[in-house]
Structure 1
Protein backbone atom coordinates (compact mmCIF):
# COMPACT_ATOMS: atom_id res chain seq x y z
CA UNK A 1 0.00 0.00 0.00
CA UNK A 2 1.38 3.38 -1.01
CA UNK A 3 0.17 6.58 0.67
CA UNK A 4 0.69 10.09 -0.70
CA UNK A 5 0.07 13.53 0.78
CA UNK A 6 -0.79 16.07 -1.91
CA UNK A 7 -1.08 19.86 -1.69
CA UNK A 8 -1.76 22.22 -4.58
CA UNK A 9 -1.31 19.37 -7.08
CA UNK A 10 2.13 18.29 -5.80
CA UNK A 11 3.09 15.20 -3.79
CA UNK A 12 4.75 16.48 -0.58
CA UNK A 13 5.15 13.06 1.09
CA UNK A 14 4.95 9.45 -0.08
CA UNK A 15 5.47 6.19 1.79
CA UNK A 16 4.43 2.56 2.09
CA UNK A 17 5.18 2.76 5.83
CA UNK A 18 2.59 5.02 7.45
CA UNK A 19 1.12 4.56 10.92
CA UNK A 20 -2.60 5.30 11.25
CA UNK A 21 -3.77 6.89 14.50
CA UNK A 22 -7.22 8.43 14.93
CA UNK A 23 -7.76 8.20 11.16
CA UNK A 24 -4.57 10.13 10.29
CA UNK A 25 -1.67 8.64 8.35
CA UNK A 26 1.65 9.51 10.03
CA UNK A 27 4.48 9.51 7.48
CA UNK A 28 8.11 8.69 8.34
CA UNK A 29 10.46 11.71 8.27
CA UNK A 30 12.43 10.44 5.26
CA UNK A 31 9.26 10.34 3.13
CA UNK A 32 8.82 14.13 3.18
CA UNK A 33 9.85 16.34 0.28
CA UNK A 34 11.54 18.78 2.64
CA UNK A 35 11.75 21.65 0.16
CA UNK A 36 8.02 22.21 0.75
CA UNK A 37 8.18 22.27 4.59
CA UNK A 38 8.91 25.20 6.91
CA UNK A 39 8.83 24.82 10.68
CA UNK A 40 6.10 26.81 12.37
CA UNK A 41 6.01 28.24 15.88
CA UNK A 42 2.56 26.68 16.46
CA UNK A 43 2.17 24.01 19.13
CA UNK A 44 -0.83 22.10 20.45
CA UNK A 45 -1.29 19.64 23.29
CA UNK A 46 -2.97 16.26 22.90
CA UNK A 47 -4.16 14.70 26.16
CA UNK A 48 -2.56 11.36 25.28
CA UNK A 49 0.05 12.09 22.59
CA UNK A 50 1.81 15.12 24.05
CA UNK A 51 2.94 18.35 22.36
CA UNK A 52 2.60 18.61 18.58
CA UNK A 53 4.90 20.81 16.51
CA UNK A 54 3.72 22.13 13.15
CA UNK A 55 4.99 22.77 9.64
CA UNK A 56 3.67 25.10 6.99
CA UNK A 57 3.70 23.70 3.45
CA UNK A 58 4.48 25.78 0.36
CA UNK A 59 3.93 24.59 -3.19
CA UNK A 60 4.04 26.75 -6.33
CA UNK A 61 4.14 29.93 -4.24
CA UNK A 62 1.06 29.04 -2.18
CA UNK A 63 1.52 28.43 1.55
CA UNK A 64 -0.77 26.34 3.72
CA UNK A 65 0.07 27.41 7.29
CA UNK A 66 0.38 24.77 9.99
CA UNK A 67 -0.83 22.05 7.60
CA UNK A 68 1.34 19.26 9.02
CA UNK A 69 2.23 18.21 12.54
CA UNK A 70 4.49 15.81 14.38
CA UNK A 71 5.23 14.65 17.90
CA UNK A 72 8.96 14.90 18.52
CA UNK A 73 8.71 13.74 22.14
CA UNK A 74 5.38 11.87 22.38
CA UNK A 75 4.05 10.46 25.59
CA UNK A 76 4.49 6.67 26.01
CA UNK A 77 1.10 5.66 24.56
CA UNK A 78 1.89 7.51 21.32
CA UNK A 79 5.52 6.42 20.87
CA UNK A 80 4.74 4.78 17.50
CA UNK A 81 4.18 8.23 15.93
CA UNK A 82 7.44 9.75 17.21
CA UNK A 83 8.90 12.12 14.58
CA UNK A 84 6.28 11.02 12.02
CA UNK A 85 4.26 13.69 10.21
CA UNK A 86 0.50 13.86 9.63
CA UNK A 87 -1.50 16.30 7.50
CA UNK A 88 -4.75 18.26 7.54
CA UNK A 89 -6.14 21.63 6.44
CA UNK A 90 -6.84 20.79 2.82
CA UNK A 91 -4.06 18.33 2.10
CA UNK A 92 -5.24 15.18 0.38
CA UNK A 93 -3.99 11.89 1.75
CA UNK A 94 -4.40 9.32 -1.01
CA UNK A 95 -4.11 5.59 -0.36
CA UNK A 96 -3.28 3.24 -3.24
CA UNK A 97 -3.65 -0.46 -2.55
CA UNK A 98 -2.22 -2.49 -5.45
CA UNK A 99 -4.06 -5.58 -4.16
CA UNK A 100 -7.43 -3.87 -4.63
CA UNK A 101 -8.33 -4.49 -8.25
CA UNK A 102 -11.68 -2.73 -8.08
CA UNK A 103 -13.54 -5.70 -6.67
CA UNK A 104 -16.79 -4.52 -5.16
CA UNK A 105 -18.06 -7.81 -3.76
CA UNK A 106 -20.54 -8.58 -6.54
Structure 2
Protein backbone atom coordinates (compact mmCIF):
# COMPACT_ATOMS: atom_id res chain seq x y z
CA UNK A 1 0.00 0.00 0.00
CA UNK A 2 1.41 3.38 -0.92
CA UNK A 3 1.86 6.21 1.55
CA UNK A 4 -1.01 8.10 -0.11
CA UNK A 5 -3.31 5.09 0.03
CA UNK A 6 -2.49 4.51 3.69
CA UNK A 7 -3.18 8.13 4.57
CA UNK A 8 -6.55 8.05 2.81
CA UNK A 9 -7.75 5.41 5.28
CA UNK A 10 -7.54 7.78 8.22
CA UNK A 11 -10.84 9.29 9.29
CA UNK A 12 -9.46 12.21 11.23
CA UNK A 13 -8.15 13.90 8.09
CA UNK A 14 -11.54 14.03 6.38
CA UNK A 15 -10.79 11.43 3.69
CA UNK A 16 -13.09 8.53 2.88
CA UNK A 17 -12.11 5.04 3.95
CA UNK A 18 -11.34 3.54 0.57
CA UNK A 19 -9.08 0.66 -0.31
CA UNK A 20 -6.42 0.71 -3.03
CA UNK A 21 -9.08 -0.03 -5.68
CA UNK A 22 -11.35 2.82 -4.60
CA UNK A 23 -13.94 0.58 -2.94
CA UNK A 24 -15.53 2.02 0.16
CA UNK A 25 -14.68 -0.11 3.20
CA UNK A 26 -17.32 0.29 5.88
CA UNK A 27 -17.94 -1.67 9.04
CA UNK A 28 -21.27 -0.51 10.29
CA UNK A 29 -21.78 -1.03 14.03
CA UNK A 30 -22.65 2.65 14.29
CA UNK A 31 -25.54 2.23 11.83
CA UNK A 32 -24.25 5.03 9.66
CA UNK A 33 -23.04 5.44 6.10
CA UNK A 34 -20.26 7.69 7.40
CA UNK A 35 -17.18 5.43 7.23
CA UNK A 36 -15.62 7.23 10.19
CA UNK A 37 -18.67 6.82 12.44
CA UNK A 38 -17.89 3.17 13.22
CA UNK A 39 -14.33 4.07 14.22
CA UNK A 40 -15.64 6.90 16.42
CA UNK A 41 -18.21 4.52 17.95
CA UNK A 42 -15.52 1.92 18.75
CA UNK A 43 -13.21 4.55 20.24
CA UNK A 44 -16.03 5.71 22.53
CA UNK A 45 -16.77 2.10 23.43
CA UNK A 46 -13.13 1.53 24.44
CA UNK A 47 -13.35 4.47 26.85
CA UNK A 48 -16.54 2.97 28.31
CA UNK A 49 -15.07 -0.53 28.65
CA UNK A 50 -11.73 0.62 30.12
CA UNK A 51 -12.32 3.76 32.21
CA UNK A 52 -8.99 5.60 32.36
CA UNK A 53 -7.49 9.02 32.95
CA UNK A 54 -5.39 9.01 29.79
CA UNK A 55 -5.05 7.46 26.37
CA UNK A 56 -1.85 5.75 27.48
CA UNK A 57 -3.44 4.25 30.59
CA UNK A 58 -6.36 2.98 28.52
CA UNK A 59 -4.05 1.51 25.88
CA UNK A 60 -2.13 -0.43 28.54
CA UNK A 61 -5.30 -1.81 30.15
CA UNK A 62 -7.00 -2.71 26.87
CA UNK A 63 -3.91 -4.22 25.25
CA UNK A 64 -3.45 -6.63 28.16
CA UNK A 65 -7.06 -7.78 28.01
CA UNK A 66 -7.41 -7.91 24.21
CA UNK A 67 -3.92 -9.37 23.57
CA UNK A 68 -2.87 -6.62 21.16
CA UNK A 69 -0.13 -4.01 21.38
CA UNK A 70 -0.75 -0.71 23.18
CA UNK A 71 0.00 0.97 19.84
CA UNK A 72 -2.90 -0.89 18.22
CA UNK A 73 -5.27 0.37 20.91
CA UNK A 74 -4.00 3.92 20.40
CA UNK A 75 -4.67 3.55 16.66
CA UNK A 76 -8.26 2.56 17.47
CA UNK A 77 -8.65 5.44 19.93
CA UNK A 78 -7.39 7.91 17.33
CA UNK A 79 -9.74 6.35 14.76
CA UNK A 80 -6.88 5.39 12.44
CA UNK A 81 -7.74 1.69 11.99
CA UNK A 82 -10.82 -0.54 11.94
CA UNK A 83 -10.85 -3.28 14.58
CA UNK A 84 -11.57 -6.89 13.69
CA UNK A 85 -14.98 -8.21 14.67
CA UNK A 86 -13.54 -10.32 17.51
CA UNK A 87 -12.23 -7.16 19.21
CA UNK A 88 -15.49 -5.31 18.65
CA UNK A 89 -17.44 -8.15 20.27
CA UNK A 90 -15.03 -8.42 23.21
CA UNK A 91 -15.20 -4.69 23.89
CA UNK A 92 -19.01 -4.69 23.59
CA UNK A 93 -19.13 -7.42 26.24
CA UNK A 94 -16.72 -5.55 28.51
CA UNK A 95 -18.52 -2.23 28.07
CA UNK A 96 -21.82 -3.90 28.87
CA UNK A 97 -20.36 -5.36 32.05
CA UNK A 98 -18.90 -1.97 32.97
CA UNK A 99 -22.32 -0.35 32.60
CA UNK A 100 -23.94 -2.99 34.83
CA UNK A 101 -21.23 -2.75 37.51
CA UNK A 102 -21.28 1.05 37.54
CA UNK A 103 -25.02 0.97 38.18
CA UNK A 104 -24.61 -1.60 40.96
CA UNK A 105 -21.92 0.56 42.57
CA UNK A 106 -24.04 3.69 42.08
CA UNK A 107 -21.59 5.52 39.79
CA UNK A 108 -24.15 6.28 37.07
In the superposition, the TM-score normalised over structure 2's length comes to: 0.26
Instruction: Using CA pairs under 8 Å that are at least 6 residues apart, name the structure with larger relative contact order, 1 or 2.
Output: 1
In the superposition, the TM-score normalised over structure 1's length comes to: 0.27
Larger helix proportion, structure 1 or 2?
A: 2
